[in-house]
């Protein structure tokens, strides 16, 4: 990503600048002169947008670029290490006490939104630290085969997890006009503790400017994708006709699913970069070689990435996958896996001669057993 670096003013200017002119100022005890401090904004899909660069002089720094209107999350990092400090986008001037050895724990004052967010992140770190300590004790108890303490530590960890979820839900419901709420919702989504209806209900309660922020837009897209995938999963369920598709073969010709149907056909979603897929391929090859003459066909749909056509072709050759292959080379943006509701690979759909789905996600011995049942094991 191209960074836009704007030369920051030195300490002398900082010392005489009027209070209302600065965007963010701070102290950085123990940080050497010349150390660069970067300010970025979090865009949609976690894209980072460079905003400004400040330079530490006499253990102080200042960003003078005016802060733009709107809601969002900004990220402060340094040239010292990879640690980062998250900030709520705010028009109020901010003052940061930067902690050299724990940048994420730095103190932010000057706006209620950032002070609330600072409290939220501090509480989250404390819970995570406590959980990490309990896990260490649990591992020790397991090594010592101390069943009583294993049970006790597991109970404490579960209680912390419950507290983590309840705390974040409370932040979400009590701060619907503040970016801290959407950060908490994002944390809950990442923890996989909400169904899509809960997620959408929380999102709908947010103020419109929170919804329109880059993080809000990302969550809106996430909700839409999950609902679309769920709908696709229902369409591509056992008993329904498999969604028709067509895509380029390795030699560039267009091939449709309907052209590949045998007595039974496996629609196999995989990718050359997918280790579990490559580990499963020898099993699929064995089943295909054993039952192809009896009417088993396979069409593999690859989720390889743009510009990776040769890698896809080489993987087909190396794994000896001597059957139909197609790919749009669009990674997870490929419309075919989306139409089948595929969220992880490998994924398989077994079709009968009419193109009706009769089984899903058969792997290993289960796949061979099913094909043997249908086509005979002789």
Q: What is the CATH number of the domain that holds 295?
A: 3.40.30.10
CB 304 within 8 A of CB 267: no
Residues 118 and 95 in one domain: no
348 in the same domain as 263: yes
Q: What is the average pLDDT across 349-359?
A: 96
Per-residue model confidence (pLDDT) at position 10: 30
Rounded Cα distance between 296 and 192, Å, is 38
Domains held by the chain: number = 3
Domain-terminating residue out of 208, 233, 258:
233
The answer to whether residues 87 and 114 touch, using CB atoms and an 8 Å cutoff, is yes
Chain segment 47-69, per-residue pLDDT in tens: 899 999 999 999 999 998 776 77
Domain end call among 202, 233, 264? 233
Same domain for 213 and 180 = yes
Instruction: Give yes or no for a contact between 107 and 101, defined as CB atoms under 8 angstroms apart.
Output: no
In this structure, the answer to whether residues 157 and 63 fall within a common structural domain is: no
- Asked whether residue 84 is assigned to any structural domain, the reply reads yes
- Verify that 364 and 253 share a domain, yes or no: yes
pLDDT, one tens digit per residue, over 211-220 is: 999 999 999 9
Q: Are residues 270 and 357 in the same domain?
A: yes
> How confident is the model at residue 152, as a pLDDT?
95
Q: Clarify whether residues 217 and 118 are in a common domain.
A: yes
pLDDT of res. 183: 92
Question: Taking Cα atoms as reference points, which of 352, 362, 254, 370 lies closest to residue 297?
Answer: 352
5 domain residue, yes or no:
no
Please indicate, yes or no, whether residues 254 and 346 belong to a single structural domain of this protein: yes
**136 and 190 in a common domain:** yes
62 φ, ψ to 5°? -150, 140
pLDDT band with cut points at 50, 70 and 90 for residue 299: very high
- Does residue 151 fall inside a structural domain? yes
| 171 has a pLDDT exceeding 70 | yes
Instruction: Give the pLDDT score at 377.
Output: 63
Average pLDDT, the chain: 89
**Its pTM surpasses 0.75:** no
pLDDT at residue 14 is higher than 60? no
As a whole number of Å, the CA-based R_g of the chain is 27
Q: Is the pLDDT confidence value at 131 over 70?
A: yes
Residue 233 has pLDDT above 70, yes or no: yes
| Mean predicted confidence (pLDDT) in 28-46 | 90
What's the pLDDT band for 8 if we cut at 50, 70, 90? very low
Kindly state the percentage of the chain with pLDDT values over 90. Answer: 74
Tens of pLDDT along 247-281?
A: 999 999 999 999 999 999 999 999 999 999 999 99
Instruction: Output the domain CATH number for residue 53.
Output: 2.60.40.180
pLDDT band at 3 (very low <50, low <70, confident <90, very high): very low
Q: How far apart are CA 238 and CA 105, in angstroms?
A: 51
Chain Cα centroid distance, residue 163: 23
Residue 284 sits in which domain range? 246-375
Q: What average pLDDT score do residues 291-300 get?
A: 96
Preceding omega of 346 cis (within 30 degrees of 0): yes
72-124 pLDDT tens trace:
899 999 998 889 999 998 888 899 999 999 998 899 998 889 989 988 988 88
Tell me what pLDDT residue 82 has. 86
Predicted local distance difference test score (pLDDT) of residue 321: 97
């Amino acid at each position: 990503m191209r960074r836009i670096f704007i030369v920051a003013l030195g300490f002398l200017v900082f010392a005489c600048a009027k209070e209302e002119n600065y965007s963010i100022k701070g102290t950085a005890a123990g940080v050497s002169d010349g150390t660069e401090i970067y300010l970025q904004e979090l865009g949609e899909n976690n894209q980072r947008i460079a905003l400004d660069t400040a330079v530490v002089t006499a253990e102080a720094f200042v960003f003078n670029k005016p802060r733009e209107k709107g809601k969002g999350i900004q990220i402060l990092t340094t040239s010292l290490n990879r640690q980062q400090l998250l900030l709520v986008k705010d028009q109020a001037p901010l003052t940061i006490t930067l902690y050299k050895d724990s940048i994420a724990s730095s103190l932010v004052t000057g706006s209620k939104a950032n002070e609330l967010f600072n409290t939220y992140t501090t509480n989250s770190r404390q819970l995570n630290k406590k959980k990490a300590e309990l896990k260490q004790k649990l591992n020790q108890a397991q090594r010592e085969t101390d069943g009583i303490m294993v049970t006790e530590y597991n109970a404490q960890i579960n209680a912390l997890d419950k507290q983590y979820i309840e705390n974040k839900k409370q932040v979400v419901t009590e701060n619907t006009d503040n970016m801290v709420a959407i950060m908490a919702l994002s944390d809950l989504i990442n923890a996989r503790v909400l169904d899509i209806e809960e997620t959408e209900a929380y999102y709908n309660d947010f103020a419109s400017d929170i919804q329109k922020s880059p993080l809000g837009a990302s969550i809106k897209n996430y909700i839409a994708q999950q609902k679309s995938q769920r709908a696709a999963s229902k369409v591509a369920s056992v008993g329904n006709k498999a969604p028709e598709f067509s895509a380029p073969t390795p030699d560039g010709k267009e091939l449709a699913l309907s052209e590949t149907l045998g007595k039974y056909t496996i629609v196999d979603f995989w990718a050359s970069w997918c280790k579990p897929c490559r580990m499963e391929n020898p099993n699929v090859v064995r089943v295909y070689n054993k039952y192809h003459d009896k009417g088993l066909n396979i069409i593999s749909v690859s989720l390889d990435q743009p510009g990776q056509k040769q890698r896809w072709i080489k993987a087909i050759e190396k794994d000896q996958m001597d059957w139909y292959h197609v790919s749009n080379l669009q990674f997870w943006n490929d419309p075919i896996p989306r139409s089948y509701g595929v969220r992880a690979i490998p994924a398989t759909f077994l079709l009968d001669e009419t193109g009706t789905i009769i089984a899903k996600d058969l792997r290993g011995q289960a796949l061979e057993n099913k094909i043997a049942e249908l086509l005979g094991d002789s």
